[in-house]
Amino acid sequence: MEDNQLLPHLFRTEYRKIVSVLCYLFGINHIEIAEDIVSDTFLSATELWSIKGIPENPTAWLYTVAKNKTKNYLKRDALFEQKLSVEIKHSAPKAQETELDLSSKNIIDSQLAMIFTVCNPCISNESQVALALNLLCGFGIQEIADGFLTNKEVIYKRINRAKDKLKTEQIKIQQPSPNEIDNRLDTVLTTVYLLFSEGYYSTSQNTILRKDLCAEAMRLCYLLIENSGTNKPAVNALLALMCFHSSRFEARINEIGETILYEDQDESLWNKELINRGEQYLSLSSTGNKISKYHLEAGIAYWHTHKEDTIEKWENILQLYNSLLILEYSSIAALNRTFALAKTKGKAEAILEAEKLNLSDNHFYYSLLGNLYTGIDNEKALEHFQKAFKLANTTADKSIITKNIDKLKVER
């Protein structure tokens, strides 16, 4: 890695670790202190490394400086140190009270505790995702704003509201008990999947950012798998789902940033290693007696890693969608089901099912109807594609719809 890329890389990988450990030590009311200490550590690295050069072990240097800055802060604020020793370390010797433990075990424990803190149902899903990106993944405010296609002020307020709510509710940063894991793991998985979706289905054209978002979601999911208490079948199913989706990342976008539809993707660009890993996690998810939506979605994604257009493939996908809709209905899942229905029962039956949904404010709905009517009633197909174009928000979606419209006009 080039010298000018090292510090940004370390900021992404180490900032989140040190912040989690400090938050775990200080508690929810002192998140800003934790962030200030870590930011100051990286500021010192920026200043000193440019003068003296990069140290032999940059990560160890950062950890040492963070420990020293923590000790210095506590010495300057004796009242805070006293309060900390009473609230958190009341049974520990004073020498240990101010020691910042950056061992691998404590980093992992701290990050796990922070995941369950950030994913508390007392704050909204969008705030959970923003706070997770900031505290758990080390994304800056501007990066998060770019990912959400909004401005820094919106994200800044969203994150601060979330922090304030956690403080008001006096949420403790601690290892989740078995009961808390059972009660709140679904919320955690929802946040992780929303984080992944922000990357995989992002409206941003920044492909590097999109990949980073997906990678961070997968890292957090893997962290849950690494812990015996949270290594549940649904967690493995979610990681399998994300592996399958990520395996086709390189094939989904062409060289000028346009989306490539599934049937037009170059299978040789699919990541076979990720597909294999997805299959392993899907197998591991088969224990227990409870099927989650992630099991069913992972099954659908698994069949999409088979490019052959066989009746067996689409019948399996259709059955999985049927089960998914029974378990947890969503209009998007119902819409996607009609594509599988067209593959198994024909376009005419799929049109009847699709039109029942009447998703008149959704451009995917009209795009699907446009595709289903193509070859049956091209005039109707054109009308639907034109409606879809008006409703589409992104350049990528408009580009795909335009190609379909142009193709139909040529065939008229």
pLDDT tier for residue 397 given thresholds of 50, 70 and 90: confident
* Dist CA 202 CA 305 (whole Å): 21
**Residue 94 pLDDT:** 42
For the chain, give the percent of residues with pLDDT over 70. Answer: 92
Sequence-ordered list of residues with C-beta below 8 angstroms from that of 3, at least 6 positions apart, any chain: 54
Is the same domain home to 152 and 74? no
Is the same domain home to 95 and 123? no
Is the same domain home to 145 and 196? yes
Is the same domain home to 46 and 117? no
| Cα–Cα separations (whole angstroms), residue 304 to 120, 272, 406 | 33, 13, 28
111 within a domain of the structure (yes/no): yes
77-94: pLDDT as tens digits? 766 666 666 555 433 334
260 within a domain of the structure (yes/no): no
Report whether pLDDT(149) > 80. no
109 within a domain of the structure (yes/no): yes
127-145: pLDDT as tens digits? 998 999 899 888 888 888 8
Is the same domain home to 220 and 118? yes
260-313: pLDDT as tens digits? 888 889 999 999 999 999 999 999 999 988 999 999 999 999 999 999 989 999
303 within a domain of the structure (yes/no): no
11: left (phi over 0), alpha (psi -120 to 50) or beta: alpha
Is the same domain home to 2 and 76? yes
Is the same domain home to 165 and 93? no
Overall average pLDDT of the 48-59 stretch: 93
237 within a domain of the structure (yes/no): no
**Residue 386 pLDDT:** 95
19 within a domain of the structure (yes/no): yes
Domain count, the chain: 3
Total Cβ atoms within 10 A of residue 411: 11
197-213: pLDDT as tens digits? 888 876 655 565 578 88
Is the same domain home to 185 and 72? no
Residue that is last in its domain, among 230, 254, 271: 230
Report whether pLDDT(96) > 80. no
Overall average pLDDT of the 359-383 stretch: 94
Residue that is last in its domain, among 51, 78, 102: 102
Helix (H) and strand (E) counts in the chain: 21, 0
Total Cβ atoms within 10 A of residue 26: 23
Is the same domain home to 167 and 116? yes
Overall average pLDDT of the 24-34 stretch: 91
* Dist CA 401 CA 386 (whole Å): 8
386 within a domain of the structure (yes/no): yes
Residue that is last in its domain, among 75, 102, 129: 102
pLDDT tier for residue 166 given thresholds of 50, 70 and 90: very high
Mean pLDDT across the chain? 89
Is the same domain home to 24 and 86? yes
323 within a domain of the structure (yes/no): no
Report whether pLDDT(63) > 70. yes
Is the same domain home to 114 and 182? yes
Domain that holds residue 64: 1-102
Is the same domain home to 5 and 33? yes
DSSP letter for each residue of 306-366: --S--HHHHHHHHHHHHHHHHHS--HHHHHHHHHHHHHHH-HHHHHHHHHHH--TT-HHHH
